A = this chain, B = another copy of it.
Amino acid sequence: MNGTAPMYKATQRPEAEAQLRTLERLETVCRARGRRVTRQRRAVLRALLAEGGALTAYELLERLRVEDGRSTPAGVYRALEFWMAAGAVHRLESTRSFILCEHPEAPHPGQLLICRECGQVVETEDKGVAAAAHRLGEQLGFVLDRHLVELTGVCGSCRARGRAAEPGRRPA
């Protein structure tokens, strides 16, 4: 059954390599700005990378404590804040969790598509959505600097698997 839509399933994290290269780049940028990439911060990034998806701050904390029993909520939130400022981590407002950015090369107005069945999160940089949002802001006289778009539903593979569920859903 792998013939249908294995597009995102993909192999065991092919992005991992790229993510690690990205980490090095981030590190360089941070140092240039007088900020440091420390053990704790690296640990947070590694945990998110290993998870391959979103984690809440306290789930992250549990994982960090396996390696370092002294980890605290404050530490986790500090590291998360650091990476969010660097553009390497996003916060999913609708699930109060955190996830690695899939395009950390540059700041970007991204969109997050969330599957409520399997928890998968896909990050996009869709020009259409971004442009429409920007246009809307202009129409209303706003100068926007934060762009939060989280779209929740059911992904293709979950729909393929769960034919037992009701076919008729009403978008709300």
Give me the interface of A with B, judged by CB distance under 8 Å.
5, 87, 93-94, 107-109, 111, 113, 115, 122, 124, 126, 128-129, 131-137, 140-157, 159, 169-172
Contacts and interface: CB of A to CB of B under 8 A. Distances in A.
Contacts of A140: 113, 122, 124, 155-156
A109 B172 contact: yes
Contact of A94 (B134, B146, B153): B146
The A interface, classified by DSSP as helix, strand, loop or mixed, is mixed
Contact of A137 (B113, B141, B172): B113
Q: Which 8 A-B pairs have the closest CB atoms?
A: A141-B156, A144-B153, A93-B93, A146-B152, A128-B132, A129-B132, A148-B150, A132-B132
Given A142-B151, A149-B149, 7 more contacts: A94-B148, A108-B172, A113-B142, A113-B144, A133-B149, A133-B151, A144-B153
